[in-house]
Chains A and B, each alone.
Chain A
Amino acid sequence: MVETQPILEFSQVALSFGETEVLKQIDLALEPGKFYTLLGPSGSGKSTILKLISGQLHADSGQIFFEGQVINDVPAEKRRVNTVFQNYSLFPNMNVFDNVAFGPRLKKLPAGEIETKVKEMLALVKLAGYENREISELSGGQQQRVAIARALANDPEVLLLDEPLSALDYKLRKDLQQELRRIQKRLDITFVFVTHDQEEALAMSDWIFVMNDGLIQQNGTPEDIYDEPINHFVADFIGETNIVPGIMKEDYLVHFVGKDFENVDAGMRPNERVEVVLRPEDLDLTDPENGKLVVTIKDQSFRGDYYEITAMDDDLNTWQVQATNPAEVGARVGLTFDPEDIHIMRYNESEEAFDARLESYDEEEAEAALQAARDDETGREEQGQ
């Protein structure tokens, strides 16, 4: 990940408020020109990281680097970083132009240059011609656009966004998500976006940091995090999921809900206790005799583009299934899935160990093992006949 010089780096950063440890040993590195998201529930420490970057808070220990220089003691107003606040925080005593011109004016730029800059920024957020409007005349979405323009008018190297879309309605939020992504690509600067909305994070980011309890639980591309969650928290927080306890009998063979299943994970101790993750969209309904599991449909709700089905197996495990076709409540059906759909999580595995284990066996090896197992099975069936 660290090929180019990181624009921003945290090394062993920790912060406590009184007795509460808000951040415990945070290490991270951000490359220039990328869209990063800090994702986590409230109180996970994600906003605290933003405040440490912007200079509103100061770390108890550890170092924060900006372009290789330690900036722990640089005051907020001298950092080349700007923030878009959750509640917009526009200056109510100034109109749109004066709000956006606030930063450039403090830098004592010539008046002509300021005007060009403000016009350019307002055009970027699609608010050209709104210069003389008062803030009170604008809608929430427009106010947030002004706030983005105001922060960008200062030419930051890194733009920090603290849950900027959470006060907006669904449609507007979707629009602004795309806008932000477009603006980030156009300006080619680093964005650090804080949110508790996993859907938003998956849709916008190049790289996600999942936070909980003052620690980075996992970081990676949206696909990595969704497909290979490291632990129960991440799997549960990112998207709907089914998690059941299981035993990894040997490489590529897992035992759960009383049966053995082939899978593509390896590198664990024999008969290690693990957690098994199956995403609802990876589960398919089929006839009871073709199913790997047999379940009873308990509940079903229509979600527009799919049906959310709740089913229960005979051991009383609940299964969430997303299906394009409706099912009948009370019916007994089979559940089927592919070996690749099974994801195994070890208890208390660190991120380094997790990454190392994934690298220790490559996909091809897993495929080969699977193929061998299948041949074996067909062989046995043939013998039986």
Chain B
Amino acid sequence: MKKMRTPYLIFMFLVLSLPILYLVFYSFNAGTTMQGFAGFSFKHYSELWQDTRLIDIVLETGIVALLSSLLATIIGTLGALAIFRVHRRTIKGVLLSLNNVLLVSPDVIIGAAFLILFTTLKLSLGFMTVLLSHIAFSIPIVVLMVLPRLKEMNPDLVLAAQDLGARPTQVLGQVTIPVITPGIVAGFFMALTYSLDDFAVTFFVTGNGFSTLAVEIYSRARQGVSLEINALSTLIFLLSLAIALAYYFINKVGKRAKTPELKEKVK
């Protein structure tokens, strides 16, 4: 069994990343299709660089993702704090279920629901509607990431802070929020990836020429995939890889700074 472990893991990761690697490989194709490699070239990258519409969409997608996850993190954290303070079991259960329903219901339903809402309110579809719907579907994610941290927190910490003279806002700012920060950060990043990923909801509520990357790639793919998309995907893939690595190193450095003695002992 032990002998099989390494080959199995290598095989697994190959299978999982093969489609992406395939896509990356053809982004350097001198030809215009993914059938047959005609030679190495950066031609699709330079095309991408000149495609100002696509670059704008990338930037807009980024803005929507950052803004929506930031606002969702604030609202979601406050929501988690509020749910945590509810003492009646039944009410707490109902609130949590309502939160989870939003998480598990299909994107298509959520998208359709928002479309109906926005048209009823006579909001013109575009940046604002996309932003609002992204905030809405990100909030439950943040709540779900923050709540466990609150439950893990020693409730006496709040009592101790009060005992030492802290007013409720000071307890929140100086004790509760710092203690649950890892959950808040995780919630923010989850919301960010959900927003960047989202296709279905955005597809419903976008309009007036506003588009996000997922929707744009979809509409272009229908007209036959240009290798420009491969080039863009490669860049995004590299960016995600860089973020993942950065996150890993930040975590490692953070932990080392906190427990210097333990590290020394391990050495």
**Which residues of A come within 8 Å of B, CB atoms?**
54-56, 76-78, 81-83, 85, 87, 89-93, 102-103, 106-107, 134, 136-137, 150-151, 154
**How many residue-residue contacts, CB under 8 A, span A and B?**
68
Q: Does B175 contact A (CB under 8 A)?
A: yes
Taking the nearest CB of chain A, how far is it from the CB of B191, in angstroms?
23
A81 and B163 alpha carbons, distance in the complex (Å): 8
Report if A106-B170 is in contact (Cβ < 8 Å); known contacts: A91-B175, A134-B259, A136-B259.
Answer: yes
Q: Does B238 contact A (CB under 8 A)?
A: no
Task: Pick out which of these stretches binds chain A: B4-12, B151-159, B211-219, B241-249.
Answer: B151-159
Interface positions, chain B 167-185, Cβ under 8 Å from A, are 167, 170, 174-175, 178-179, 181
Asked whether, in the complex, the Cβ of A85 is within 8 Å of the Cβ of B160, the reply is yes
Asked whether, in the complex, the Cβ of A93 is within 8 Å of the Cβ of B156, the reply is no
A56 and B163 alpha carbons, distance in the complex (Å): 8
Report if A76-B163 is in contact (Cβ < 8 Å); known contacts: A92-B179, A134-B259, A137-B259.
Answer: yes
Q: Which of A82, A92, A93, A107 contacts B163 (CB 8 A)?
A: A82
User: B167: which A residues are within 8 A, CB to CB?
Assistant: 77
Asked whether, in the complex, the Cβ of B156 is within 8 Å of the Cβ of A76, the reply is no
Report if A89-B259 is in contact (Cβ < 8 Å); known contacts: A54-B163, A77-B165.
Answer: no
Asked whether, in the complex, the Cβ of B159 is within 8 Å of the Cβ of A106, the reply is no
A206 and B167 alpha carbons, distance in the complex (Å): 34
Asked whether, in the complex, the Cβ of A93 is within 8 Å of the Cβ of B179, the reply is yes
> Which secondary structure characterizes the binding site on chain B?
helix
Taking the nearest CB of chain A, how far is it from the CB of B185, in angstroms?
13
Report if A85-B159 is in contact (Cβ < 8 Å); known contacts: A91-B175, A137-B261.
Answer: yes
Q: Which of B154, B166, B259, B262 contacts A77 (CB 8 A)?
A: B166
Asked whether, in the complex, the Cβ of B259 is within 8 Å of the Cβ of A106, the reply is no
Taking the nearest CB of chain B, how far is it from the CB of A56, in angstroms?
6
Asked whether, in the complex, the Cβ of B164 is within 8 Å of the Cβ of A89, the reply is no
Q: Which of B156, B162, B259 contacts A87 (CB 8 A)?
A: B156
Chain B's interface size range is: 20 to 34
Q: Which of B170, B178, B258 contacts A134 (CB 8 A)?
A: B258
User: A90: which B residues are within 8 A, CB to CB?
Assistant: 160
User: B170: which A residues are within 8 A, CB to CB?
Assistant: 106
User: A82: which B residues are within 8 A, CB to CB?
Assistant: 163-164
Residue from the set A78, A106, A150 with the largest chain B CB neighbour count within 10 Å: A106
Taking the nearest CB of chain A, how far is it from the CB of B164, in angstroms?
4
Residue from the set B162, B164, B178 with the largest chain A CB neighbour count within 10 Å: B164
Nearest residue (CB) in A for B163 is A83
Q: Does B161 contact A (CB under 8 A)?
A: yes
User: B164: which A residues are within 8 A, CB to CB?
Assistant: 77, 82, 102-103, 106, 150-151, 154
Taking the nearest CB of chain A, how far is it from the CB of B224, in angstroms?
54
Q: List 24 A-B contacts (CB under 8 A).
A: A54-B163, A76-B159, A76-B162, A77-B162, A77-B163, A77-B167, A81-B163, A82-B163, A83-B159, A83-B163, A89-B154, A89-B156, A89-B159, A89-B160, A90-B160, A91-B160, A91-B161, A91-B175, A91-B179, A92-B179, A93-B179, A134-B259, A136-B259, A154-B164
User: A150: which B residues are within 8 A, CB to CB?
Assistant: 160, 164
Interface positions, chain B 236-267, Cβ under 8 Å from A, are 258-259, 261-262
User: B165: which A residues are within 8 A, CB to CB?
Assistant: 77-78, 103, 106-107, 154
User: B262: which A residues are within 8 A, CB to CB?
Assistant: 137
User: A77: which B residues are within 8 A, CB to CB?
Assistant: 162-167
A264 and B154 alpha carbons, distance in the complex (Å): 53
Report if A91-B157 is in contact (Cβ < 8 Å); known contacts: A103-B164, A150-B164.
Answer: yes
User: B156: which A residues are within 8 A, CB to CB?
Assistant: 85, 87, 89
10 closest cross-chain pairs (CB), A and B: A89-B156, A93-B178, A103-B164, A89-B160, A106-B165, A77-B165, A76-B162, A83-B163, A85-B156, A102-B164
Q: A77-B165, A77-B166, A91-B175 are in contact. List 7 more A-B contacts (CB 8 A).
A: A56-B162, A77-B162, A85-B156, A89-B160, A90-B160, A106-B166, A151-B164
User: B179: which A residues are within 8 A, CB to CB?
Assistant: 91-93
Taking the nearest CB of chain A, how far is it from the CB of B76, in angstroms?
21
User: A78: which B residues are within 8 A, CB to CB?
Assistant: 165
A356 and B215 alpha carbons, distance in the complex (Å): 90
User: B159: which A residues are within 8 A, CB to CB?
Assistant: 56, 76, 83, 85, 89
Q: Which of A76, A85, A89, A136 contacts B258 (CB 8 A)?
A: A136
Interface positions, chain B 199-230, Cβ under 8 Å from A, are none
Nearest residue (CB) in A for B262 is A137
User: A134: which B residues are within 8 A, CB to CB?
Assistant: 258-259
Nearest residue (CB) in A for B154 is A89
Residue from the set A81, A93, A154 with the largest chain B CB neighbour count within 10 Å: A93
A230 and B63 alpha carbons, distance in the complex (Å): 76
A92 and B162 alpha carbons, distance in the complex (Å): 16
A189 and B246 alpha carbons, distance in the complex (Å): 53
A85 and B158 alpha carbons, distance in the complex (Å): 12
User: B161: which A residues are within 8 A, CB to CB?
Assistant: 91, 102
A361 and B154 alpha carbons, distance in the complex (Å): 54
Taking the nearest CB of chain B, how far is it from the CB of A334, in angstroms?
55
Taking the nearest CB of chain A, how far is it from the CB of B174, in angstroms?
8
User: A85: which B residues are within 8 A, CB to CB?
Assistant: 156, 159-160
Asked whether, in the complex, the Cβ of B166 is within 8 Å of the Cβ of A89, the reply is no
A150 and B174 alpha carbons, distance in the complex (Å): 15
User: A103: which B residues are within 8 A, CB to CB?
Assistant: 164-165
Nearest residue (CB) in A for B153 is A92
Taking the nearest CB of chain B, how far is it from the CB of A143, in angstroms?
12
User: A106: which B residues are within 8 A, CB to CB?
Assistant: 164-166, 170
User: B162: which A residues are within 8 A, CB to CB?
Assistant: 55-56, 76-77
Taking the nearest CB of chain B, how far is it from the CB of A50, in angstroms?
11
User: B175: which A residues are within 8 A, CB to CB?
Assistant: 91, 93
